[in-house]
Structure 1
Amino acid sequence: MLFRRGSLACAVSTCMHFGMRRTRNIRLLLAFDGSAYAGWQRQAAAPTVQGTVEEALTRLTGTPVTLHGAGRTDAGVHARGMVANGRSESSIPPNGLVRALNNMLPPDIRVLDADEAPPDFHSRFDALGKTYCYDLCLTPIQNPLQRLYCAHVPRPFQLEPVAACLDLLTGTHDFAAFEGSGSRDRTHSSGRGAIRTLREAQCFPLAGCPAHFRFRFTGDGFLRHMVRNLVGTLLEVAAGKYGPQEFQDILTSGDRGRAGPTAAARGLCLHRLYYDPPWPTGVCLATVACEEYSVGGREKKARPRACPDGSGTAAGEAGSGTELPARQESGMN
């Protein structure tokens, strides 16, 4: 009879009146250096980001907490804006969670923001899109300070054919040719298979960092190793092995064997997630189409962005409307 009205508000009010502990859906914005971890997903015999944050949350709240991440990054892949959520009866306010967790977590993982999400929010299933960036160093000798965050590829790099191929990627396609093994159960005919939609695919030089480039992809979802396989194939285009027509043929073939190798994990970073309503405030997928440069790296207007080692700026990186909140943790690169 207590919940006869059937509303969540009624249930919450009743719990508070009788001193019952209310379960909250806690949402976290995380940044991490993935170098020391076997990826995001919890594993029994290897350190992972999910396992490390869950352990800290469990110690902090006194009860086990299971996190649901917006994606499963591979070993060595980094994140500036991973979103995860989990349920807890802890009454610690969100700002207290941020401070306490950052005191408990190792320095290569930081909680940038936290809030109480709606009860039905799920970081993975509610995500409208993601942005990944991949950084390259083409110099003969790489600055050792970049080695964990920027792939070293000392080979010829022609941007024009790469830009033409990137133009081919925007829109909705079957990306089976760039899908890693284990991405999904191919015996299942339901679902969308390898079909994904890319709103943004570009490559641009990093100003102040000679022979450094950044790939940037925004889409409604990504298959396992999809970005790294795309980059690996585009590097073959940049070196003259394939032209735009051959790249188009690879895309339409759906044959992973025809595409290029998988690029190294260390150059890849999960940049941000998009939700409706936006979280954090201002991170909105709709703004991607309005950013200040066009697909393929053909700039309309430059905005500064840090190079992989923290020096210089990126000539083509946008910020309007989609940057993370100003109150980021200082440990974020």
Structure 2
Amino acid sequence: MKNLKFIISYDGTAYSGFQTQPGGNTIQDKLEDTIFKLTGESVKVISSGRTDAGVHARRQVINFITNSVIPVERWCLALNTRLPKDIVALSAEEAPLTFHSRKSAKRKTYCYAVRVARFPNVFQRKFEFHHYTPLHIEAMREALECLIGEHDFTSFCTVRTDKEIRVRTIYEARIEVEPDAMSDDTKAGSLRVMITGSGFLYNMVRIIVGTLFQIGEGKRDSSDMRRILEACDRSQAGPTAEANGLTLWNVEY
């Protein structure tokens, strides 16, 4: 019996999220079905965290228990020849039996990508949100600062969550900006909202980003972010940003 740990990437556009659902169109379902076809085993794949429908992963971590005799160094090739093309296993290793992708995780980083330009980038449309008007980036950066530290993030969590404890720690929150050298629009560019924390509530990053958009558009002041945080009231925050711009960037153990 072995506990195998994998790093996987996926384009979540066509899927109903990571966690298995009755319809069967999830990343977990595809992984478990592929492993069954490969080994004949019905395994339960554990992930570092759920990603919603349409959300992507650059370095998602999964693990499962197997009795297969396939050498660990052959697993990625074996999976990748059978998985859909939008799911890729990047690495595999044997982990201690006590390792649990979610419970053992210490830090997670999410990235929300935004194209700020008059027109979208046709090649990146699945992986970034298109914001066609300029944003006040410095105001957005100022707003992000108050989220760093340990806080109750009820205001930035969907009311449908099943989590009773909504305190999380944000270690780092920043905005990276990159001009678009390929565009004739001199104001065009891409920005990435990078947030690293101990864990995240349901839709937490997307609600934070939706609120940042309102601040960047001048509809709210940067100081409103702290007031919203302290209110512990979802109705005080902005809308939930669209899923396609969000990627699970990294998980640390």
Q: 1:99 aligns with which of 77, 80, 91?
A: 77
Q: 1:219 aligns with which of 197, 205, 223?
A: 197
How many angstroms does 1:155 deviate by? 2.4
- In the alignment, which residue of structure 2 is the partner of 1:145? 123
**Partner deviation per Cα, 1:187-207 (whole Å, 9 max, x = no partner):** xxxxxx111111110112124
Point out the structure with the larger strand share.
2
User: 1-side partners of 2:235 and 2:138: how far apart?
Assistant: 25
- In the alignment, which residue of structure 2 is the partner of 1:297? none
User: 2-side partners of 1:245 and 1:181: how far apart?
Assistant: 24
Counterpart mapping for 1:56-95 below 5 A: 56-95=34-73
Counterpart mapping for 1:30-69 below 5 A: 30-69=8-47
How many angstroms does 1:185 deviate by? 4.5
Contact 1:37 1:46 in 2 (8 A): no
**Partner deviation per Cα, 1:148-199 (whole Å, 9 max, x = no partner):** 100011123001111111111111111100001332244xxxxxx1111111
Contact 2:179 2:189 in 1 (8 A): no
- In the alignment, which residue of structure 1 is the partner of 2:169? 197
Q: In the superposition, relative to structure 1, how do residues 116 and 55 fare at CA in structure 2: closer, same or farther (>3 Å)?
A: same
Structure 2: segments with no counterpart, 5+ residues? 182-187
**Partner deviation per Cα, 1:291-324 (whole Å, 9 max, x = no partner):** xxxxxxxxxxxxxxxxxxxxxxxxxxxxxxxxxx
Contact 1:41 1:72 in 2 (8 A): yes
User: 2-side partners of 1:218 and 1:246: how far apart?
Assistant: 21
Q: 1:129 aligns with which of 97, 104, 107?
A: 107
User: 2-side partners of 1:181 and 1:117: how far apart?
Assistant: 36
Counterpart mapping for 1:294-333 below 5 A: none
How many angstroms does 1:67 deviate by? 0.4
Contact 2:215 2:221 in 1 (8 A): yes
- In the alignment, which residue of structure 2 is the partner of 1:179? 157
| 4+ residue runs over 4 A deviation | none
- What secondary structure is seen at the aligned counterpart in 2 of 1:177? helix
**Partner deviation per Cα, 1:106-141 (whole Å, 9 max, x = no partner):** 110000001111011100000001000000012121
- In the alignment, which residue of structure 1 is the partner of 2:90? 112
Counterpart mapping for 1:284-299 below 5 A: none
User: 2-side partners of 1:151 and 1:198: how far apart?
Assistant: 23
Contact 1:198 1:220 in 2 (8 A): yes
Structure 1: segments with no counterpart, 5+ residues? 1-22, 187-192, 276-333
The code of the aligned residue for 2:151 comes to: H
Q: With structure 2 as the length reference, what TM-score do the two structures score?
A: 0.95
- What secondary structure is seen at the aligned counterpart in 2 of 1:25? strand
User: 2-side partners of 1:109 and 1:96: how far apart?
Assistant: 17
User: 1-side partners of 2:249 and 2:25: how far apart?
Assistant: 22
The code of the aligned residue for 2:206 comes to: R
User: 2-side partners of 1:237 and 1:194: how far apart?
Assistant: 24
**Partner deviation per Cα, 1:217-260 (whole Å, 9 max, x = no partner):** 00000000000000000000001111122221101001110100
| Matched positions, count | 247
How many angstroms does 1:65 deviate by? 1.1
Contact 2:117 2:134 in 1 (8 A): no
Please give the root-mean-square deviation of Cα atoms over the aligned residues, in Å.
1.1
The code of the aligned residue for 2:46 comes to: H
Does residue 230 of structure 1 match 2:230?
Answer: no
User: 1-side partners of 2:55 and 2:44: how far apart?
Assistant: 21
User: 2-side partners of 1:235 and 1:208: how far apart?
Assistant: 20
The code of the aligned residue for 2:122 comes to: P
- What secondary structure is seen at the aligned counterpart in 2 of 1:206? strand
- What secondary structure is seen at the aligned counterpart in 2 of 1:146? coil
User: 2-side partners of 1:153 and 1:253: how far apart?
Assistant: 28
Contact 2:159 2:234 in 1 (8 A): no
The code of the aligned residue for 1:78 comes to: H
**Partner deviation per Cα, 1:71-101 (whole Å, 9 max, x = no partner):** 1000100001000111110011111111100
Name the larger-Rg structure: 1
User: 2-side partners of 1:145 and 1:68: how far apart?
Assistant: 32
**Partner deviation per Cα, 1:46-85 (whole Å, 9 max, x = no partner):** 4100100111111111111110111100010000100011
Aligned-pair identity (%) = 40
